[in-house]
Amino acid sequence: MTAQAAPRRGRPGYDRAEVLRIAVELFNQQGYDATSVADLAQRLGLSKSALYHHFDSKEQLLSLALDDALNGLEAALESALAQEGTVADTLTGLIRGAILVLTEQQPQVTLLLRLRGNSPVEIAALERRRNFDHRVIDLVRQAQAEGVLRSDIGAGIATRLVFGMVNSIAEWYRPAGSVAAEELSGDVIAIALEGLQPR
Amino acid sequence: MTAQAAPRRGRPGYDRAEVLRIAVELFNQQGYDATSVADLAQRLGLSKSALYHHFDSKEQLLSLALDDALNGLEAALESALAQEGTVADTLTGLIRGAILVLTEQQPQVTLLLRLRGNSPVEIAALERRRNFDHRVIDLVRQAQAEGVLRSDIGAGIATRLVFGMVNSIAEWYRPAGSVAAEELSGDVIAIALEGLQPR
């Protein structure tokens, strides 16, 4: 860290991970586009130069956070595909994995879900998300072809709606709350497969 | 409109509704917090003073747009409650009504769903949305008590997940697309009640 004359209220000894965590929190609170490097420096109680010691740019912080979320989701898909079992097992494994990523990396996933595509970093992340979606839609289509899932609802719409349930969890899940991620996964899978009517 | 020396490229004769429509479009594109009155004036090709002829403030535009969305959702709930029928009919009527509001007022609903609560207008809208949610949760709880819906999934979680499906439509629905709102409502209700497994 270079010597600075600028105010450094408290000046805590942040490491990169901590700076990233606080940046993502601020992006989610006031929007990425509305957050300046000066805002972030102020929140951290660091000078802008001290902040640039940790990161090159605001976009780099965004990019790292989106990578966290996308790497997690892609790993959940790979892991579900690597499991022994039917395509139905793959899909339920994927839902469980995605909800785990979402609850463990809620701030990064929230950022991903709110992207508008206003910069190259955002456009690249949206493209990765689109590829992920298409791989899942292909799985649902396969499950429909095998008769494991009903085929009167299009694979694209069914996938988007079920992931609508999954993603909505980012809006209201509280890590310290009364509902565990595992219980939530069970509920989402129950609704997605069986629905809410009593059997 | 007062006489202005400021540039007025094109200076189209906007009415209030048109100014509001374009403002909401811009808020959704770059975020409400990141959008200044100057940005909006530029997008409209109006001077700031000409814009203030239509509206008092950026917050007033936000407030009107959120009222559109919330009035629509609340009217859908009242209308579903006023229907003859079981609590299950009320709930399916509500889902149909909410999806209709969402597809007809997609920009306003999108704005509502992305609120962060950074201003009194936003906090008031979030409070109205919370009241709406609680009324729906009460309906789901009643349906569970009557045995119309399974009760092994909490009413709050079931409601939030089903509305997660509904709200996700705002992210990808295209008015000119191949899927009609009515078809989408049928798909959401089918998944919510019956699930994706073949019966």
Q: What is the pLDDT of residues B122-161, one digit of tens each?
A: 999 999 999 999 999 999 999 999 999 999 999 999 999 9
Distances (CA, A) of A34 to A30, A92, A161, B8: 6, 38, 30, 27
Least CB-CB distance to B197: which of A114, A179, A194?
Answer: A194
Q: Residues B163, B108: one domain?
A: yes
Pick from A147, B167, B81, B176: nearest CA to B188: B167
What are the DSSP E strand ranges found in chain A? none
B81 CB near a chain A CB, below 8 Å? no
> Has residue B198 got a pLDDT over 60?
yes
- CATH assignment of the domain containing B26: 1.10.10.60
Task: Classify residue A8: in a domain, yes or no.
Answer: no
Question: pLDDT digit string (tens) for A185-194?
Answer: 999 999 999 9
Task: Classify residue B23: in a domain, yes or no.
Answer: yes
So what's the pLDDT on residue A183? 93
In this prediction, residues B4-24 reach a mean pLDDT of 73
Distances (CA, A) of A116 to B31, B35, B47, B105: 9, 14, 27, 19
Q: Residues A92, A177: one domain?
A: yes
Cα–Cα distance between A113 and A51 in angstroms, integer? 26
Q: Name the token pair of B145.
A: 């008590």
Q: Residues B27, B48: one domain?
A: yes
Cα–Cα distance between B98 and B66 in angstroms, integer? 15
Mean predicted lDDT score pLDDT of chain A: 92
Task: Classify residue B27: in a domain, yes or no.
Answer: yes
Cα–Cα distance between B101 and B155 in angstroms, integer? 23
Q: Residues B103, B83: one domain?
A: yes
Q: Which residue has the tokens 């490229």?
A: B9
Task: Classify residue A10: in a domain, yes or no.
Answer: no
Domain span including residue A160: 60-194
Pick from B23, B8, B156, B186: nearest CA to B92: B186
Least CB-CB distance to A191: which of B167, B195, B198?
Answer: B195
B62 CB near a chain A CB, below 8 Å? no
| Number of domains into which chain B is organized | 2
Q: Residues A78, A103: one domain?
A: yes
In this prediction, residues A63-82 reach a mean pLDDT of 98
So what's the pLDDT on residue A8? 44
Cβ–Cβ gap B193/A188 under 8 Å: no
Q: Residues B22, B80: one domain?
A: no
Cβ–Cβ gap A31/B32 under 8 Å: yes
Question: pLDDT digit string (tens) for A17-45?
Answer: 999 999 999 999 999 999 999 999 999 99
Three-state DSSP class for residue A23: helix
In this prediction, residues B59-70 reach a mean pLDDT of 97
Task: Classify residue A132: in a domain, yes or no.
Answer: yes
Using a CB-CB cut-off of 8 Å, the residues of chain B touching A193 are 195-197
Least CB-CB distance to A195: which of B32, B163, B193?
Answer: B193
So what's the pLDDT on residue B11? 52
In this prediction, residues B14-41 reach a mean pLDDT of 94
Contacts of B19 by beta carbon, 8 Å cutoff, 6+ apart: B44, B51, B54, B55, B61
Best of A191, A193, A194, A199 to mutate (most B CBs within 10 Å, chain B)? A191
Least CB-CB distance to B168: which of A167, A192, A193?
Answer: A167
> From the CA of A18, how many Å to the nearest CA of chain B?
23
Q: Which residue has the tokens 């009640």?
A: B193
B29 CB near a chain A CB, below 8 Å? yes
Cβ–Cβ gap A187/B161 under 8 Å: yes
Pick from A122, A85, A80: nearest CA to A99: A80
Q: Residues A82, A134: one domain?
A: yes
Q: Residues B97, B156: one domain?
A: yes
Q: Residues B14, B88: one domain?
A: no
Q: Residues A66, A111: one domain?
A: yes
CB pairs under 8 A between A and B: 138
Q: Residues B42, B70: one domain?
A: no
Residue A153 DSSP code: S
Helix axes A155-172, A181-194, angle to 10 degrees: 150
Task: With cut-offs at 50, 70 and 90, classify the pLDDT of residue A9.
Answer: very low
Cα–Cα distance between B89 and B17 in angstroms, integer? 35
Cα–Cα distance between B157 and A157 in angstroms, integer? 22
In this prediction, residues B73-83 reach a mean pLDDT of 97
So what's the pLDDT on residue A12? 61
This complex has an ipTM of 0.90
- CATH assignment of the domain containing B88: 1.10.357.10
In this prediction, residues B54-72 reach a mean pLDDT of 96
Three-state DSSP class for residue B22: helix
> Has residue A5 got a pLDDT over 70?
no
So what's the pLDDT on residue A177? 79
Task: Classify residue B60: in a domain, yes or no.
Answer: no
Question: pLDDT digit string (tens) for B148-157?
Answer: 999 999 999 9
Using a CB-CB cut-off of 8 Å, the residues of chain A touching B148 are 197-198
Task: Classify residue A4: in a domain, yes or no.
Answer: no
Which residues, numbered 108 to 167 in chain B, qualify as contacts with chain A under a Cβ-Cβ cut-off of 8 Å?
A: 114, 116, 118, 147-150, 152-154, 157-158, 160-167
Pick from A120, A128, A13, A130: nearest CA to A68: A128
8 A C-beta contact, residue A74 and residue A94: no
Q: Residues A90, A156: one domain?
A: yes
Task: Classify residue B199: in a domain, yes or no.
Answer: no
